Amino acid sequence: MLKTVRCIASVMALLVLAGGVAVAADAQSETTEEATATEVTSAEPQVDSVAVATVAIEARTVPDLLRDLAQASLNETPAIVDALASSGGLSMLPLFQAMLAGELYYERETLRILRIAENEAGDDVASDVLTDADLGPVNARDYRKVRINNRVRGQLRDAIARINLTEGSADQRRAAATAMLDGIDDSTVAAFEQALKTETDAQVRDVIEVGIAMAVLKSAATESEQLVALEQLDGRLEAPVRNLLTSIAESSGDGRPTAVQRQAAAIVSGINARIEHYQFLEQLFFGLSLGSVLLLAAIGLAVTFGVMGVINMAHGEMLMLGAYTTYVIQQLMPQSINLSIWVAIPSAFIVAALFGMLIQRFVIRYLAGRPLETLLATFGISLILQQSVRTIFSPLNRRVISPDWMSGSWQINPVLSLTNNRLYILAFSLIVFFILLLILKRTSLGLNVRAVSQNRDMARAMGIRTDIVDAMTFGLGSGIAGIAGVALSQLTNVGPNLGQQYIIDSFMVVVFGGVGNLFGTLLAAFSLGVANKFLEPVTGAVLANTFILIFIILFIQKRPKGLFPQKGRAAE
Amino acid sequence: MYSNKFLAGLAISTLVSSMSVATWAAEDTIKVGVLHSLSGTMAISETTLKDTVLMMIDEQNKKGGVLGKKLEAVVVDPASDWPLFAEKARELISNNGVSVIFGCWTSVSRKSVLPVIEELNGLLFYPVQYEGEESSKNVFYTGAAPNQQAIPAVDYLMNDLGVERWVLAGTDYVYPRTTNKILEAYLRDKGVAEADIKINYTPFGHSDWQSIVADIKRFGSEGKKTAVVSTINGDANVPFYRELGNQGLSAEDIPVIAFSVGEEELSGIDTAPLVGHLAAWNYFESVDSAENEAFINGWHKFIKNDKRVTNDPMEATYIGFNMWVKAVAKAGTTDVDKVEQAMIGITAPNLTGGVATMNKAHHLSKPVLIGEVQADGQFEVVWETDGLVDGDAWSDFLPGSKDIIADWTAPIKCGNYNTKTKTCSGQNY
């Protein structure tokens, strides 16, 4: 049994390796070396028409400008937005926000601008963009969207930041001030100084003072003033601060650096040391997060393969079924995406567990003790499941929407932020792991499972219905894979190939951790994840995977039973 | 015993599914081969093109067929398996006697088909943007060459958005590696320092983008405007864009311009984190033209689903098919050599309101459009080339190929002709 496992693991690892090497070699042979270029293509840069537009829109009132906005081309829009910001001031905030969110429309005939958004019932409702007065439901087809592009988006964001600097909540004011650090000029400084007069929040004041200090360094202030400003910037992690200081430190053109430059260089090296420290933490988090995905993918297999000893090549498809269940549940309750995920978890467990029990009852049961035939049969099942999904749901990927609370990130400081979805999945994987551990160690089902896997005949002699226990165990392993599929649907594509991506990783983790040992699986998943993420910056993603596989092959040669071999009579 | 029965059943079912779905007709027809994967990893993209060819054949037959004969589709499934592409191509030409094949998506599948199609003197229309450095007598390339997609895209970023630092991110295979080599040479030529170019390759289907995105974020926070030029292929794009969104990189800070992300790819994902990112193609569904509207309506009717989107390779298939029909009518026969010569100089309307011409190098002249992703999964065109760009089979920016041209008219008649030494290389492509 163990030999087969070892052999399969090595063969799979070799196959993957060979594939990787072949692709790389292929690419090398196809491309030609070194390059110098001679010609320019026919694509000409476009002439900017903003300058022309600016002249025309001076001295126009807000209603005029709004009408212009409806007709404007993308090149004219920025000038109109500028004019709106300067003549409308604070009152423009709802307009800018609606525009940024893509909710600004105009009526085709009257060119009247209004905001159209979906309400809770999914109907399009219009409202006046400046007064927010409700204008009732409309048919969005009668209206056209006010077009924006990246340039306009950037401009809107700046304008909103400037308004928020004095009007927003404390968090908004701080975010606005931080955003304004990038590209400081006289008007920013004026806005900062204005804001500082009324600002009471210490953190916001802090950021604004950094901005003013940066302006001092950029200006032609005296050396002593600049040194005071530098003190203010000591230890700041914001990217604009570091870039400014680096450029000052490196600008020593004629020989001896000035006191300001020396001081700036010292501060930069201090900042860099701090950043490196946070980068290490960030990499560790990335590693743990990759580990949690590996753990989720492998944990069901740790039951079916680890505890029962069935080589289940259809394990990946159980993950896929879980992910598709999430999709179906979202389709059934489109209005409550946030809730759907909580419905999806038990549903995915039931769906995958049912499929697992069916496979166990009708196929695997008859192949007991014949690992190679089990391998082939389950591989066939995995192909059948994939193609069925392709037929039922189409070969295209399905769209699973992430709940709001899972997107975004937790910003600890300007250089370290942890993404929410990864944090939740890390916690989720640990919860699933410990629940599984409880089931196996503390329930009668768990006791039966362990008894059957250690000595089938003896367990049967003691009155345990081994066939039912087998089906339940396989269902449990598959169901947990289904739950993992729910988590994976938040990270990757929900498509027919979802399972194939994880099957090799899953076997790798279980074999590395020691077959039959759940804690081994946990440790293997996290150590492989962390190792991968620390290798990746050095070697690139392709080679990092390769090195991990080589390492596992060598490790299995040395310790065939993995990190934590089973001991005692159960081992043989 | 039971297990043997089961395995036998499994074997039979595999056999049946791998058999071709050829339809045999009694009357005299012109056979058109369709060589697109209907299963496996590439099915996601290629199934649509199979349906497009079937729709075009259907429409042509309603107009009375070609040369007075009806067209008949022979659909085979190479199952995303590259060697199987060659076998199926041989089967189509030798056993089914098709006059033309529409097919392939990945470069590796085209490379696999190439020797077969040249040996048997078949005709292949290849509808996908690719890395160039190839021109075969038996292949017409209706997708974009690098100078019709990658180079104009970089020009746009450099001139209109003022980008100074570049991340060239791609999947690790032929197309991204060659394209990035061309782009790197082009950027260096434009005076971009080596330290301002970062090249990164990832495996197929890569799903853990955390450290790469963090790296891009750091690279972009050093004061210069940064953009990502993405040749990331297929499935790997979704987790990539999701990670960009989650780590708070918006399109205004660091725009990503993609060469492999189109309407079809966007239809399977939550587009919220992608809004504002860019793509360079020769066609977008959102383009406002009469031909495009007719094409989209025809497509919705044929596929019986008005939610299905159209994309650039579909337009390339549309142009290629119409050109082939015209060339056959012009040549008065489906004989490959005569059709091949008739094809050069043939024009057909494209879907963006212009006209595509087949050049001597077996490539098309196309407009290049740059679009920004909108929340509804469509693209808003923000820039386009002034006129049409001629497809350049051999890049001018690689030292090995800058003196090489392809010209399939007399007297050169060569896909790999060195203008300096005035010789045609021994290989045919």
pLDDT digits (tens, 9 = 90+) for A135-155: 878 776 678 788 788 888 888
Task: Give the pLDDT of residue B334.
Answer: 93
Are residues B399 and A36, on separate chains, in Cβ contact within 8 Å? yes
> What's the gap in Å between the CA of A400 and the closest CA on chain B?
7
Asked if the structure places residue A115 within a domain, the reply is yes
Neighbours of A159 (CB within 10 A): 22
- Which residue does chain B place closest to A546, by CA atoms? B203
- In whole angstroms, give the CA distance from residue B186 to residue B138: 30
**B426 located within any domain:** no
Could you tell me if residue B92 is inside a domain? Answer: yes
What's the rounded Cα separation, in Å, for the pair A418 and A425?
12
Is the CB of B203 less than 8 angstroms away from the CB of A545?
Answer: yes
Do residues B96 and B21 touch, judged by C-beta distance below 8 A? no
Q: How many CB pairs under 8 A join A and B?
A: 228
* Residue B399: closest C-alpha in chain A: A35
**Residue B429 belongs to a domain:** no
Closest residue to A243, CB basis, from B223, B248, B400: B223
> From the list B155, B208, B268, which residue is nearest A396 (CB)?
B268
- Neighbouring-strand partners of residue B279: B258, B371
Q: Are residues B166 and B96 in the same domain?
A: no
> B155 to chain A: which residues are within 8 Å by CB?
41, 43, 45
Question: Does the structure show a pLDDT above 60 at A23?
Answer: no
User: Do B267 and B377 lie in a common domain?
Assistant: yes
Find the mean pLDDT for residues A68-81: 82
* Closest CA of chain B from A108, distance in Å: 17
Same domain, A147 and A282: no
Beta strands per DSSP E along A108-179: 113-118, 124-127, 134-137, 143-145
Same-domain status, B28 and B49: yes
User: How does strand B70-76 pair with strand B29-35?
Assistant: parallel
Task: State the best of A41, A214, A498 to mutate against chain B, taking most chain B CBs within 10 Å.
Answer: A41
What's the rounded mean pLDDT across residues A129-137?
A: 79
Whether the Cβ atoms of residue A480 and residue A472 lie closer than 8 Å to each other: no
β-strand pairing of B355-357 with B347-349: antiparallel
Residues B123 and B172 in one domain: no
Q: Is residue A503 part of a domain?
A: yes
Residues A308-363 have pLDDT tens digits of: 888 899 999 999 999 999 999 999 988 888 899 999 999 999 999 999 999 999 99
Residue of A30, A420, A502 to mutate for B, most B C-beta atoms under 10 A: A30
Which residues partner with B364 through β-bridges?
B358
- pLDDT at residue A559 tops 60: yes
- Mean pLDDT computed over A426-433: 95
Q: How far, CA to CA in Å, does B170 sit from each of A262, A546, B145, B233, B251?
A: 41, 18, 17, 7, 18
pLDDT tens-digit profile, chain B (429 residues): 444 444 444 444 444 444 444 444 445 899 999 999 987 777 778 889 999 999 999 999 999 999 999 999 999 999 888 999 999 999 999 999 999 999 999 888 999 999 999 999 999 999 999 988 899 999 999 999 999 999 999 999 999 888 999 999 999 888 899 899 999 999 999 999 999 999 999 988 888 899 899 999 989 888 889 999 999 887 788 889 888 888 888 888 899 999 988 898 887 677 877 888 999 999 999 998 899 999 999 999 999 988 889 999 999 999 999 999 999 999 999 999 999 999 999 999 999 989 999 999 999 999 999 999 988 889 988 888 888 999 998 988 888 888 888 889 888 888 888 888 888 875 544
Question: Which range marks the domain in which residue B175 is found?
Answer: 147-286+368-384
Decide which of A151, A183, A203 is a domain's last residue. A151
CA distances from A564 to A287, A308, A388, B241 (A): 21, 17, 38, 38
Q: Are residues B237 and B373 in the same domain?
A: yes
- Which chain A residues contact residue B399 at CB under 8 A? 32-36
CB-CB under 8 Å, B177 with A501? no
Q: Tokens at residue A334, please?
A: 């489109």
Find the closest chain B residue to A367 by CA distance. Answer: B3
Number of domains in chain A: 2
Domain contains B300: no
What single string gives the DSSP state of each residue in A367-413? GTT-HHHHHHHHHHHHHHHHHHHHHHH-SSPB--PPPGGGSSEEEEE
User: What is the total count of domains within chain B?
Assistant: 2
Residue A132 pLDDT > 90: no
Q: Using the 3D structure, point to which of A151, A182, A203 is the last residue of a domain.
A: A151
Instruction: Judge whether B14 lies within some domain.
Output: no
The answer to whether A322 and A351 have CB atoms below 8 angstroms apart is yes
User: Which CATH number does the domain housing residue B102 bear?
Assistant: 3.40.50.2300
In this complex, do A282 and B184 lie within 8 Å of one another by their Cβ atoms? no
* Residue B204 and residue B189 share a domain: yes
DSSP A45: P
In B, minimum Cα distance to A275 occurs at: B218
Smallest CA–CA distance, residue B18 to chain A, in Å, is: 12
Give the pair of three-digit tokens for residue B244: 């960009």
Residue A356 domain flag: yes
Token digits of residue A114: 């209004």
To test the contact with chain A by mutation, choose from B5, B44, B106, B224 the residue with the greatest count of A C-beta atoms within 10 A, namely: B44
Min Cα separation B25/chain A (Å): 27
Distance, in Å, from the CA atom of A166 to the CA atom of A226, rounded to the nearest integer, reads 27
Is residue B135 one of the residues assigned to a domain?
A: yes
Q: Do B252 and A153 touch (CB under 8 A)?
A: yes
Do A287 and A421 reside in the same domain of the chain?
yes
Which of B399, B401, B323, B397 has its CA nearest to residue B359?
A: B323
Containing structural domain, residue A554: 277-404+416-571
Q: What is the ipTM of this complex?
A: 0.76
Task: Give the separation between CA B127 and CA B138, rounded to whole angstroms.
Answer: 14
Distance from CA of A407 to the nearest CA of B (A): 6
- Cross-chain residue pair A35–B181, CB shorter than 8 Å: yes
Are the CB atoms for B206 and A544 separated by under 8 Å? no
Task: Taking residues A285-311, report their average pLDDT.
Answer: 90
Distance CA B229, CA B279 (A): 9
A385 occurs within a structural domain:
yes
| Residue A454: both structure tokens together | 């250690």
In a domain, A320, yes or no: yes
Assess if residue A362 is contained within a domain. yes
Characterize the bridge pairing of strands B256-258 and B226-231: parallel
Same-domain status, B248 and B173: yes
pLDDT at A570: 54
Q: With left for phi above 0 and alpha for psi between -120 and 50, is residue A146 left, alpha or beta?
A: beta
Residues B380 and B253 in one domain: yes
Across the interface, whether the CB atoms of B173 and A533 are under 8 A apart is answered no
**Other beta carbons within 10 Å of B32:** 27
d(CA B385, CA B370): 9
> What would you measure as the largest C-alpha separation in chain A, in angstroms?
96
Characterize the bridge pairing of strands A416-419 and A409-413: antiparallel
Cβ distance B252 to A373 less than 8 Å, yes or no, reads no
From the list A34, A142, A4, A13, the residue with the least C-alpha distance to A550 is: A13
Which is nearest to A405 in space by CA: A470, A340, A454, A498? A340
pTM of the model: 0.80
Q: Label residue A117 exposed, middle or buried (CB < 10 Å: 0-12, 13-18, 19+).
A: middle
Would the CB atoms of A35 and B173 count as touching at under 8 Å?
no
Question: A219-267: per-residue pLDDT in tens?
Answer: 877 878 888 888 888 888 888 888 888 888 877 666 677 888 888 888 8
Q: Which residue has the tokens 């100084």?
A: A193
C-alpha A448/C-alpha A464 separation (Å) is: 7
CB B284 within 8 A of CB B350: no
Contact yes or no for B401/B147 (Cβ under 8 A): no
Tell me what pLDDT residue A51 has.
43
B7 located within any domain? no
Chain A residues lying within 8 Å of B243, measured CB to CB: 419
Closest CB to A32 among B243, B267, B398: B398
* Per-residue model confidence as pLDDT tens digits over B163-201: 999 999 999 888 899 899 999 999 999 999 999 999 999
Total residue count of chain A as it appears in this document: 572
**Nearest-CA distance B58 → chain A (Å):** 23
Residues B129 and B205 in one domain: no
Residue A192 has pLDDT above 90, yes or no: no
Q: Are both B220 and B100 inside the same structural domain? A: no
Residue to test with chain A: of B37, B211, B403, most A Cβ within 10 A: B211
Residue A36 to residue B383, Cβ atoms within 8 A: no
φ, ψ for residue B302, nearest 5 deg? -65, -45
Cα Dmax for chain B: 72
Cα distance between residue B195 and residue A257, in whole Å: 25
Contact B396 A39 (CB under 8 A): yes
With beta carbons under 8 A apart, name residues in chain A contacting B108. Answer: 26
Same domain? A299 vs A440: yes
- The answer to whether residue A20 is domain-embedded is no
pLDDT digits (tens, 9 = 90+) for B245-267: 888 888 888 999 999 888 988 87
Query: What's the Cα-to-Cα distance from A112 to each of A263, B204, B256, rounded to whole Å?
Result: 57, 49, 34
Does residue B376 fall inside a structural domain? yes
Please list the residues that pair with A117 across neighbouring strands.
A125
A33 CB neighbours in chain B (<8 A) are 399-400
Residue corresponding to tokens 């079937």: B54
Instruction: With residue B124 as reference, give the H or E element that holds it.
Output: strand B124-126
CA distance A37 to chain B (A): 4
Across the interface, of B2, B214, B268, the residue whose CB is closest to A399 is B268
Q: Which of A32, A36, A536 faces B211 most closely, judged by CB atoms? A: A536
B193 and B233 belong to one structural domain? yes
In a domain, A143, yes or no: yes
- B269 and B374: one domain? yes
